[in-house]
């Protein structure tokens, strides 16, 4: 009896060892805001994007089993952290993707490192993810506050907008965006007249806008995102702020925000993104497939596109490793070693600090007359090459860089 038990245990142990060596199962978790102000930017659309990447990787035909699940973090770091722990500890999730809301992202970043899994962030903006909070398990894919500040901020100051007032979302993301933009404004000879911090998900901005108005700053920098940005822009036009000579700088604006505002209100805004669906053949083809799978036919935002691109590269790395080693740091190291290449972001690479680099673009929202129809919203104003768009490695606070 004892012998059979021992044999059984040994056999079990051996079989599980065997399975580990050539494990070809992957579980991808899209941890997102599924129901609130960022749900259209990432949300369920990012689950679709991750699924499309899994299908396009062609791994299923090679015997891999890839599963994509989604979870709603409700923009609360404690809830997001709870889901991440549950996914890693109980549900066997290998990689968490997207995760807008920098507050949640920073929490997941740390948990992922502790559990040695992989965090491919597309939606969050804080440049701290590859700065002082960088880990060997996280890659920050699509954009960050440094790139936004460096592109929009610089362009606006160069165009004569040298006095600023910030409307800042009062959490990790807004603070990072304000800090990075302020640095760019000051470095380019501008000046900051004042700032006000508003709670996340504020329906009425009139009070804050009036404070911005009395500051007499030429530029009102919106260091917020999603519904907060659209409300602020809409109400600024209502209160005659733009008519009064002050300009809005939407430091972070997504395709779905422009769609929600309508071109009448949004026209003329300049902002920074790293992906636009109508850029070339590859992006158009992907976007068409994507829109067909979305309930409201929406084209992908850069966050959703980034999720696709990141998952695709992750799966390429797994294939190169010959199986899922279940070792987050090892997978991320492989991902950094391989150059990135896909139809959406073109060729690029991942730096030691976990920053994925590619060109970023300065866009302007078209006038209603210039738009050929739904989702035809952007005009390209400038392209910032990959090596100039993001924070230079020499300025990085990331410990991974200092050691290397």
Partner 1 sequence: MFGIPTQALFSQLLLGLINGSFYALLSLGLAVIFGMLNIVNFAHGALYMMGAFVAWFLLGYAGIGYWGALILAPLAVGFVGVVIERTMLQRLAGLDHLYGLLLTFGLALVIQGVFQNQFGSSGMPYAIPPQLTGGQNLGFMFLPNYRAWVVVFSLVVCIATWFMIEKTRLGSYLRAATENPTLVRAFGVNVPLMITLTYGFGVGLAGLAGVLSAPINQVRPLMGADLIIVVFAVVVIGGMGSIMGSVITGFALGVIEGLTKVFYPEASNTVIFVIMAIVLLIKPAGLFGRAA
Helices (H) and strands (E) in the chain, counts: 16, 15
* Interaction of residue 188 with partner 1, rule CB under 8 A: no
* Interaction of residue 198 with partner 1, rule CB under 8 A: yes
* Interaction of residue 36 with partner 1, rule CB under 8 A: yes
Q: Which is nearer to partner 1, 138 or 235 (CB)?
A: 235
DSSP 355: B
Question: Binder to partner 1 among 52, 261, 357, 389 (CB under 8 A)?
Answer: 261
Question: Binder to partner 1 among 7, 22, 35, 86 (CB under 8 A)?
Answer: 35
* Interaction of residue 244 with partner 1, rule CB under 8 A: yes
* Interaction of residue 296 with partner 1, rule CB under 8 A: yes
* Interaction of residue 40 with partner 1, rule CB under 8 A: yes
Q: What is the 3-state secondary structure of 254-290?
A: CHHHHHHHCHHHHCCCEEEECCCCCCCHHHHHHHHHH
Question: Binder to partner 1 among 69, 79, 183, 196 (CB under 8 A)?
Answer: 196
* Interaction of residue 67 with partner 1, rule CB under 8 A: no
Structure tokens at 295: 């309930």
How far apart are CB 62 and partner 1 at their closest, in Å? 35
Question: Binder to partner 1 among 262, 268, 322, 339 (CB under 8 A)?
Answer: 262
How far apart are CB 24 and partner 1 at their closest, in Å? 35
* Interaction of residue 256 with partner 1, rule CB under 8 A: yes
* Interaction of residue 5 with partner 1, rule CB under 8 A: no
Q: Where are the alpha helices (H) located in 101-202, listed in sequence order?
A: 102-115, 145-148, 154-158, 172-187
How far apart are CB 262 and partner 1 at their closest, in Å? 4
CB 340 within 8 A of CB 348: yes
Helix axis angle, 43-56 relative to 281-293, nearest 10°?
Answer: 120
Q: Using CA atoms, how far apart are residues 259 and 371, in angstroms rounded to an integer? A: 12
CB 101 within 8 A of CB 110: no
* Interaction of residue 79 with partner 1, rule CB under 8 A: no
How far apart are CB 81 and partner 1 at their closest, in Å? 23
Beta strands in 76-209 (DSSP E): 95-98, 118-121, 138-140, 163-169, 191-198
> Which residues, 6 or more positions from 261, have their beta carbon under 8 angstroms from its beta carbon?
230, 233, 234
Where on the chain is the footprint of partner 1 (CB under 8 A)?
Answer: 35-41, 43, 170, 196-199, 201-204, 206-208, 210-211, 213-214, 226-227, 230-231, 234-235, 238-240, 244, 256-257, 259-262, 264-265, 295-296, 298
């Amino acid at each position: 009896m004892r012998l059979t038990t021992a044999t059984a245990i040994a056999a079990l142990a051996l079989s599980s060892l065997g399975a580990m060596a050539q494990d070809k199962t992957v579980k991808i978790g899209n941890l997102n805001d599924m129901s609130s102000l960022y749900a259209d930017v990432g949300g369920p659309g990012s689950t679709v994007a991750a699924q499309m990447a899994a299908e396009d990787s062609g791994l299923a035909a090679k015997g891999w089993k890839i599963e994509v699940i989604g979870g709603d973090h409700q923009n609360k770091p404690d809830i997001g952290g709870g889901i991440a722990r549950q996914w890693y500890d109980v549900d066997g999730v290998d990689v968490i993707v997207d995760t807008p809301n920098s507050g949640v992202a920073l929490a997941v970043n740390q948990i992922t490192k502790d559990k040695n899994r992989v965090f491919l962030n597309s939606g969050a903006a804080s440049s701290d993810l590859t700065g002082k909070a960088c880990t060997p398990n996280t890659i920050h894919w699509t954009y960050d506050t440094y790139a936004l500040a460096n592109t929009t901020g610089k362009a606006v100051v160069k165009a004569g907008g040298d006095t600023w007032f910030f409307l800042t979302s009062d959490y990790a993301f807004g603070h990072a965006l304000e800090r990075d933009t302020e640095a760019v404004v000051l470095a380019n000879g501008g000046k900051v007249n004042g700032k006000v911090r508003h709670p996340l998900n504020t329906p009425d901005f009139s009070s804050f806008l009036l404070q911005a108005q009395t500051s007499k700053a030429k530029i009102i920098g919106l260091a917020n995102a999603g519904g907060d940005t659209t409300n602020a822009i809409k109400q600024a036009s209502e209160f005659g702020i733009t008519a009064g000579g002050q300009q809005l700088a939407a430091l972070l604006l997504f395709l779905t925000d422009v769609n929600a505002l309508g071109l009448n209100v949004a026209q003329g805004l300049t902002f920074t993104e790293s992906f636009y669906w109508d850029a070339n053949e590859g992006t158009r083809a992907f976007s068409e497939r994507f829109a067909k799978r979305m309930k409201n036919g929406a084209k992908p935002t850069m966050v959703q596109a980034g999720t696709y691109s990141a998952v695709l590269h992750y799966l390429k790395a797994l294939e190169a490793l010959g199986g899922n080693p279940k070792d987050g740091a090892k997978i991320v190291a492989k991902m950094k070693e391989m150059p990135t290449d896909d139809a959406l972001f073109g060729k690029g690479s991942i730096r030691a600090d976990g920053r994925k680099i590619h060109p970023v673009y300065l866009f302007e929202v078209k006038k209603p007359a210039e738009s050929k129809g739904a989702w035809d919203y952007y005009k390209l104003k400038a392209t910032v090459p990959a090596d100039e768009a993001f924070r230079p490695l020499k300025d990085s606070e990331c410990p991974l860089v200092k050691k290397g």
